[in-house]
Structure 1
Amino acid sequence: MPPVDSRNGPRFALRGRIVTMDGQDAVLRDGVLYINGGRIDHVLPASAPPPADYVDVTPVETAGTAYPGLIELHNHLPYDILQLWRVPRRFANRSQWGSGPNPDYRRLVTGPMRILGEDPESMPAVARYVEAKALINGTTTSQGIALFSNSGSRRMYRGIVRNVEATDDPELPEAKTRIADVEAADARRFLARLQQPHRLLLHLAEGTDDRARVHFRALEFEPGKWAITENLVGIHCTPLTAEDFQIMVEHGGSMVWSPLSNLLLYGKTADVAAAKAAGTLLGLGSDWSVSGSKGLLGEMKAAQLTSAAGGAVFTDRELISMATRNAAKILRWNQSIGSLSPGFHADIVIVRGQDGDPYTSLVAARDTDISLVVINGVARYGMTAIMEELTSDTTRLERLTDHVLADRALNLHHPDADPAVGDLTLADATQRLTDALADIPLLASRVEKTRIARRTEPTPTWRLALDEIAPTGSELRPRLPLPHSSLPSGPVISTVEPAVSSLHPLTLDAITASTDTEFLDTLEAESNLPDSFGARLRDLLT
């Protein structure tokens, strides 16, 4: 399947305020993006004559501000159908909330996902729903959805949103988010893995106590020798000290920050002031809907509040950089993605309005302010009127009926659609998941029958390969042994499957935050967040 779309994409132009996020931080108050074949050909002031090959093209008036598409460096996408968890207490490390002592995790997360991931009706609906959710929240690149078949083969779902793990584009080197378990447990094998030509986006030091920090310190496998290279991208890094960040930077490592998830689970996030002082290259990730934002648009607001509480650590421009050019640099995509520059892939997000600070405008934007999302030169989501102007065959548009997004449309058509999802609409996916979650016990019995049939099924049957639900031979994090010990570092994750009798009906998580009262109420009531943080974040989201 070609990368997102073929390069035979349409030729068009978009007019509005343009925030390029290029090396000079150029902002065109009234500019035009000229796009052809999935690329940005020119970025010019609207007063300039059109290029010779665009004299017959009338720019589409967006009445908005254009930014590079948002690049998410951490998400467990399939889980984004689940609602925000009311975290019952403050945890000190990852083992405490994802293992045996926490039956709620199995009942609310691993139990339902095991069932949905194996159900032939629900699995494609999950893939469609969570990708549309990312798109509607302005994300143009995220981590992928892994699929596993009864024949033992494994592959990545290929959809509309770019996938850092499967790009099929030599300009966009593929990153990895999992490593073999034997590489995770042996320092020299892990270091050899880091020396291969792939970025590794791996969980690192999740929590606030010594046990969490030891996960990082175990990377020093001999005195002064660290299993860290420029290919290690540490996700979370919540307990790291200024000294630790200095070590990371000296060895070329970078970091992905997920502040809301950290605060919800641990009451604390990474010392980003120390990370910034050390020169750490930072990206951003919303983690997952169970303990995070619905997308990067919300996560930037959580990052802004956290930055302000720490003494204005980051400007709004720096926060946007984490989701655009910094993220692209971490991935080694910064010559093709992350800026609105000539020759770059046309990944674009546009929000309504052209007034005020150009950087604050995006950080402050609500989900209802997004008027257009373009991926590789194809309009994928936006105001219906704009989508109709930019779509040659408007019968392919799915006009949304949700009252919040009633004037929006999606274009989920791909000429080489992944057969796992095909032409499934967001509306159909929503209905399937709503029904499935409402009667999880009944669905569980149906899935058990499917499991039995799958053992003798001659044709491949695909299911979701979910993170940390069952042993798969791969790991999301290094597990190097502690000094003078054979015990591995890192969290212990339970893979015990809950009894069907412990499962209860659930509600599908809403796609947008601005009018999701249940999400907003839960967020405001979360006990681990700093005083008034939930209420202030609620105000920013609505």
Structure 2
Amino acid sequence: MRATDSTASVASAASVNVPTGPRFALRGRIVTMDAARTVIADGVVYVENGLITAVLPASAPPPESCRDLAVVDTGATLFPGLIELHNHLPYNVLPLWQVPKKYGNRGQWGGSSNPDYHRLVTGPMTVLGQSAELMPAVVRYVEAKALINGTTTSQGIALFSDAGARRLYRGVVRTVEATDDPALPEAASRIADVEAADAQRFLARLNQGKRLLLHLAEGVDAAAREHFLALEYDPGKWAITENLVGIHCTALQADDFTRMADGGAAMVWSPLSNLLLYGGTADIAAAKKAGLTLGLGSDWSVSGSKGLLGELKAAHLANTAAGAVFTATDLVAMATCDAAKILRWDHALGTLTAGYKADITAVTGTTGDPYLTLIDATDEDVAVVVIDGAPRYGRTPLMKTLRPSAGTALETDVPGIPPTHAVDLARDDPDPAVGNLALADATALVAKALSTLAAKPQALMSEVAPLLPAVAAARGNNASGPNWRLALDEIQPTGEELRPRLPLFERGRRAVRSRRSGATASTMPSPVMMSGPPIPKLTAEVTQGLSAVTLDALTASENAAFLAELRSEMNLPGGYGGQLSKLLD
């Protein structure tokens, strides 16, 4: 993921490097996702310097600047790169949770309300996220997981240093919070306490101009809906603008969706996570009738898909169960052009057209319904994923053809990805906290750490010590610099709360309820610490009560345990888990 220190964001935006990279021409069926939903049955996408030079029928002469290029026949259908609007990326090393019962709202299953939550979630992530030795491997692994599942832009991975500075990881997958690109306005994904004290202050935050991705009405009961009703600061006056992007919205009623749409807001749909935790998802028919624009998010691996390739299938099944509210074209739009529209990126991404950034997700096959080709594609069907004009993942022969100078940067035979595929995560300017750590090394390190969680800290680190030289080498001369930690929600007050919500308000009086009043109170930490004590290091208290955890595999087809788990999840509607498992395998 790509970004800079938050204290230097203005300077960095003014000094963005002009994209450079390989020049190539990809032939296949082209699903442009433009306003007319143009599909070119046999076309070519020409790429130069990180941008799309032209999208033309294969029979048309190439642009003058591309006459020297040999056209590469992919045998695939090419789509704009997939844009994910909701995830908790660091947690994607953890396996799918067997949810024990249906919950009514977010406050009932997370944190101290769930006796197993420390063992399942916060404990493992504290070990991984607060260890300077282990953190780079987590960052590398979860970025690769997004990429391998077709995603070129995602949301939600943050680093935190002992000195208190914040920044996001500079990798190959773009993050919506810190794009390092003035053409792609950054979105925010948290709100500080002072801005959440009342709805009017929250409205002032919205009016600052950034899109704000906010967990909204997560759950299916009245308490979940109250977090939406808190947006009404005076009778008939709502803190809703075009900058509000509501995540989940599962408890909203028809009138609520109308209020959202009237205010210009948008919504992010995460159907699999909703169904696993609550046994229900958003009323998408009401959302569509209200005219809301929807994006997609796979949430996290604890209760969601491995990535957008899987979440498209989850959405397709949920949509069918709801009466086919959306077409297959609509669903693909949620992960491409509509997601770009929500972020105000639709002038630069989300469509395959000349002048746009060269983000491409291509899947094998050029016959049948073009949109179902993507929805039905398994991870083995991914032909190539291109970000900013650089091929980053795909079938090995195709990757070698497109990146002949990459040399040893190409990784093959990585556990968890199809043996037919290769990945290239190397950058000329990697973040010093992670460097160019190889995916295979990261995989081995995280898997070993998770398997030895029950050990005392000294023993745990002794177990992983043989694997640490690769991390140190990847960090190069910066290995002795500041120790970075992952900013993890609900663990330490790093200021990077990943599930922000407005606190509940007393209807009529608008007084904030005490945070100690119940499970539905806000869980946001204090504002970010710009100075103060360092984040606690790994201690016996952190590892107490933990047991071995199996690293969640990068792909579904290579993860039989995940597919079996889906089939046995008790909250999923009858047959849903089995159908989804078949689509993913």
Alignment of 1:55-66 (within 5 A): 55-66=67-78
Shift of 1:174: 0.2
- Quick one: which of 315, 319, 327 aligns to 1:303? 315
User: Which residue does the alignment assign to 1:274?
Assistant: 286
SS of 1:441 mapped into structure 2: coil
Alignment of 1:86-101 (within 5 A): 86-101=98-113
User: Which residue does the alignment assign to 1:315?
Assistant: 327
User: Which residue does the alignment assign to 2:27?
Assistant: 15
Distance 1:342 1:91, change over 3 A: same
- Range 358-367 or range 386-395, more displaced: 386-395
Partners of 1:331 and 1:74 in 2: CA distance: 12
1:508 aligns with 2:534: no
Partners of 2:351 and 2:141 in 1: CA distance: 28
User: Which residue does the alignment assign to 2:178?
Assistant: 166
TM-score with structure 2 setting the length: 0.88
Is the CA contact 2:197–2:512 (under 8 Å) kept in the aligned structure 1?
Answer: no
Distance 1:524 1:367, change over 3 A: same
- Quick one: which of 419, 428, 435 aligns to 1:415? 428
SS of 1:409 mapped into structure 2: strand
SS of 1:234 mapped into structure 2: strand
Is the CA contact 2:270–2:297 (under 8 Å) kept in the aligned structure 1?
Answer: yes
User: Which residue does the alignment assign to 1:462?
Assistant: 484
Is the CA contact 2:32–2:80 (under 8 Å) kept in the aligned structure 1?
Answer: yes
- Aligned residue type for 2:191: I
Is the CA contact 2:127–2:543 (under 8 Å) kept in the aligned structure 1?
Answer: no
- Quick one: which of 497, 501, 513 aligns to 1:487? 513
Alignment of 1:444-455 (within 5 A): 444-445=457-458
Shift of 1:51: 1.5
Distance 1:244 1:6, change over 3 A: same
User: Which residue does the alignment assign to 1:388?
Assistant: 400
Alignment of 1:323-472 (within 5 A): 323-391=335-403, 392-402=405-415, 405-442=418-455, 444-445=457-458, 459-472=481-494
Partners of 1:248 and 1:443 in 2: CA distance: 50
Distance 1:381 1:459, change over 3 A: closer
Is the CA contact 1:194–1:229 (under 8 Å) kept in the aligned structure 2?
Answer: yes
Q: Percent identity?
A: 59
1:31 aligns with 2:43: yes
Question: What CA deviation, in whole Å up to 9, does each residue of 1:421-456 have, x standing for no partner?
Answer: 11211100010011100111336457999xxxxxxx
Q: Considering only aligned residues, what root-mean-square deviation do their CA atoms show, in Å?
A: 2.1
Unpaired stretches in structure 1, ≥5 consecutive residues: 450-456
Distance 1:514 1:447, change over 3 A: closer
1:541 aligns with 2:553: no
- Aligned residue type for 1:461: N
- Aligned residue type for 1:537: L
Shift of 1:500: 3.0
Shift of 1:199: 0.3
Partners of 2:524 and 2:389 in 1: CA distance: 43
Is the CA contact 2:32–2:38 (under 8 Å) kept in the aligned structure 1?
Answer: yes
- Quick one: which of 253, 261, 281 aligns to 2:265? 253
Is the CA contact 1:185–1:488 (under 8 Å) kept in the aligned structure 2?
Answer: no
User: Which residue does the alignment assign to 1:141?
Assistant: 153
Partners of 1:493 and 1:478 in 2: CA distance: 9
1:49 aligns with 2:76: no
User: Which residue does the alignment assign to 1:231?
Assistant: 243
Question: What CA deviation, in whole Å up to 9, does each residue of 1:109-143 have, x standing for no partner?
Answer: 01110111011221000000000010000000001
Partners of 2:580 and 2:456 in 1: CA distance: 36
- Range 370-379 or range 97-106, more displaced: 97-106
Distance 1:486 1:423, change over 3 A: closer
User: Which residue does the alignment assign to 1:75?
Assistant: 87
User: Which residue does the alignment assign to 1:177?
Assistant: 189
Distance 1:348 1:458, change over 3 A: closer
Shift of 1:472: 3.3
User: Which residue does the alignment assign to 1:452?
Assistant: none
Is the CA contact 1:17–1:28 (under 8 Å) kept in the aligned structure 2?
Answer: yes
- Aligned residue type for 1:276: K
User: Which residue does the alignment assign to 1:454?
Assistant: none
SS of 1:440 mapped into structure 2: coil
Across the two proteins, how many residue pairs are aligned to each other? 534
- Quick one: which of 487, 492, 501 aligns to 1:477? 501
Is the CA contact 1:115–1:447 (under 8 Å) kept in the aligned structure 2?
Answer: no
Question: What CA deviation, in whole Å up to 9, does each residue of 1:346-387 have, x standing for no partner?
Answer: 000110110100001000000110010000100000111111
1:195 aligns with 2:224: no
Shift of 1:389: 1.1
User: Which residue does the alignment assign to 2:125?
Assistant: 113
Is the CA contact 2:269–2:294 (under 8 Å) kept in the aligned structure 1?
Answer: yes
Is the CA contact 2:184–2:345 (under 8 Å) kept in the aligned structure 1?
Answer: yes
Partners of 1:274 and 1:214 in 2: CA distance: 19
Shift of 1:404: 5.2
